[in-house]
Amino acid sequence: MTGDEQHIMRAYDRDLEAIQAMIIKMGGLVEDAIMNGTASLVNRDTELAEKVRAADKSVDDLEELINEEAARTIALRAPVSTDLRIILSVIKIAGSLERVGDYAKNIAKRTSVLAEMRPISGSDGTLKRMAREVQTMLKDTLDAFVRRDEALARDVINRDQDVDQMYNALFREFLTFMMEDPRNITACMHLHFIAKNVERMGDLVTNMAEQIVYLTTGSRPDENRPKGDRTAFMDGVD
Amino acid sequence: MTGDEQHIMRAYDRDLEAIQAMIIKMGGLVEDAIMNGTASLVNRDTELAEKVRAADKSVDDLEELINEEAARTIALRAPVSTDLRIILSVIKIAGSLERVGDYAKNIAKRTSVLAEMRPISGSDGTLKRMAREVQTMLKDTLDAFVRRDEALARDVINRDQDVDQMYNALFREFLTFMMEDPRNITACMHLHFIAKNVERMGDLVTNMAEQIVYLTTGSRPDENRPKGDRTAFMDGVD
């Protein structure tokens, strides 16, 4: 390898490092959004909700920046094989992160609506646990990305079932509350909606983890994972 | 330009054409999935529902093929500027199409559950109209992609509001039905879920249309579009 080639390689590695650092930063912001969005809702904290909404702008901006940097790197360095796979994976992961951020923002947005409704006993705790599980899954996914850790990514994929089970439990709870007292219907419809958002965040994090398995192994995780729609509505369907 | 360069250019154009043809094929399959998924549900046609579920496999396979071909083209042709933007847009559009297909499949999956429940008068018609509107939006988005038609893409973006309004109307209807008679609660929860899925398909098609505006103009559509969460839950929030 000539000195020039080494020099170019290093510049390329720096580009990749920079893009991956942006993903980690974006991921951290989205982790915060998940926790703060849920906390604002559970504590009926409209001020925190407003912060979550404002922070989502930074997440969106970072996605755009990552897309631009990724395109610039491809144009400038013409990467192939693994390097190209990394960049294309980064674009996909950034896209999924942006959507998770959106869901978190939507949860925060409901804070003021929920504040005016009858509290539904018990559901807040389960919602918080679900959100914490998704946040941990996201944290582990980002770690798996940085360390190219296939086993950790696969672990995240498996844990999505726990989130789905929590969702199922909540769904049945809401149904019961609504049947018991029609005055619970409106609040339960909101809470059901929020629970479904958290469950979908789990799906998106799982997609990211699958992308990391692909990144580290070059092939998609096996297709046996029962995807997405493994929720209460489906009892007796699958 | 030398003869060799011309030869290479033509090969590159052929690659691009091939990838775009795959997007159109994938889009057609997803259009079918939207209509057949909704039809299976409305007509409680479990046989058609099964076809929709089976067809989703082809959609997933096409996405993977498009991703591979896109990566191959980047590695082989090292495209820059507009050409690169086309390829990266194609990857994003394929990703959104795959998700729309998933939602359509999920709707089809609920056919057998709904078949066992009390019919909720009127809601089927609105659901069908919503799905038809989303299908038309998708068709126009694919046309806008092929013709690089910015105006048509912007028109699609605007029409997403109609879908949101239909969703809002349905949401209020479901709430009323549930309050009137608790025996409607379970069926209405399912139907609400389905309506929300159709509304989300509209959001994803809108994302694709925004990607086409970006593709044709090089800049993102203005940020004033009230995104995603413009639904009944949000009355009085935004």
- Residue A203 pLDDT: 95
| A190 against B30, higher pLDDT | B30
Q: Are A132 and A35 in contact (CB under 8 A)?
A: yes
Count CB atoms within 10 A of the CB of residue A1.
8
* Phi, then psi, of A83 in degrees rounded to 5: -60, -45
pLDDT above 70 covers a percentage of chain B that reads: 89
What is the end-to-end Cα distance of chain A in Å, rounded? 57
Contact B196 A192 (CB under 8 A): no
Angle, alpha carbons A28-A115-A101 (nearest 5°): 20
Which chain B residue lies closest to A188 (C-alpha atoms)? Answer: B189
- Residue A184 pLDDT: 92
Contact A175 B192 (CB under 8 A): no
pLDDT tens per residue, range B59-110: 999 999 999 999 999 999 888 888 899 999 999 999 999 999 999 999 999 9
**B189 interfacial to chain A (CB closer than 8 Å):** yes
| pLDDT-based confidence at residue B237 (cuts at 50, 70, 90) | very low
| pLDDT-based confidence at residue B115 (cuts at 50, 70, 90) | confident
Alpha carbons A211 and A216: distance in angstroms, whole number: 9
**A238 interfacial to chain B (CB closer than 8 Å):** yes
In the chain, the amino acid numbered B166 is M
- Residue B45 pLDDT: 93
Question: Which residues in chain B are contacts of A70 at CB distance < 8 A?
Answer: 88
Q: Tell me the domain boundaries of chain B.
A: 3-233
Residues 6+ apart with CB under 8 A from A158: none
Alpha carbons A205 and A144: distance in angstroms, whole number: 12
**A225 interfacial to chain B (CB closer than 8 Å):** no
Closest to B90 in 3D by CA, of B208, B177, B202, B200: B208
- Residue B190 pLDDT: 87
- CATH fold, domain B3-233, is Methane Monooxygenase Hydroxylase; Chain G, domain 1 (1.20.58)
Q: Which conformational region is residue A218 in: left (phi greater than 0), alpha (psi within -120 to 50 degrees), or beta?
A: left
In the chain, the amino acid numbered A134 is V
Q: Which two tokens stand for residue A95?
A: 């896209």
- Residue A7 pLDDT: 67
- CATH fold, domain A3-234, is Methane Monooxygenase Hydroxylase; Chain G, domain 1 (1.20.58)
- Residue A237 pLDDT: 30
- Residue B205 pLDDT: 98
Q: What is the mean pLDDT of residues B176-198?
A: 91
Q: Write the CA distances from B78 to A75, A194, B81, B107, B140, integer angstroms.
A: 7, 44, 10, 41, 31
- The one-character DSSP state at B89 is H
Residues of chain A short of pLDDT 70, as ranges, are 1-9, 222-238
Q: Are B37 and B105 in contact (CB under 8 A)?
A: yes
Say what the ipTM of the complex is: 0.84
Number of residue pairs across A and B with CB atoms under 8 Å? Answer: 94
- Residue B119 pLDDT: 79
Which chain A residue lies closest to B57 (C-alpha atoms)? Answer: A223
- Residue A160 pLDDT: 96
For residue A119, the SS3 value is coil
Cα radius of gyration rounded to whole Å, chain B: 20
**B54 interfacial to chain A (CB closer than 8 Å):** no
Most confident of B114-128, B161-175, B212-226: B161-175
| pLDDT-based confidence at residue B2 (cuts at 50, 70, 90) | low
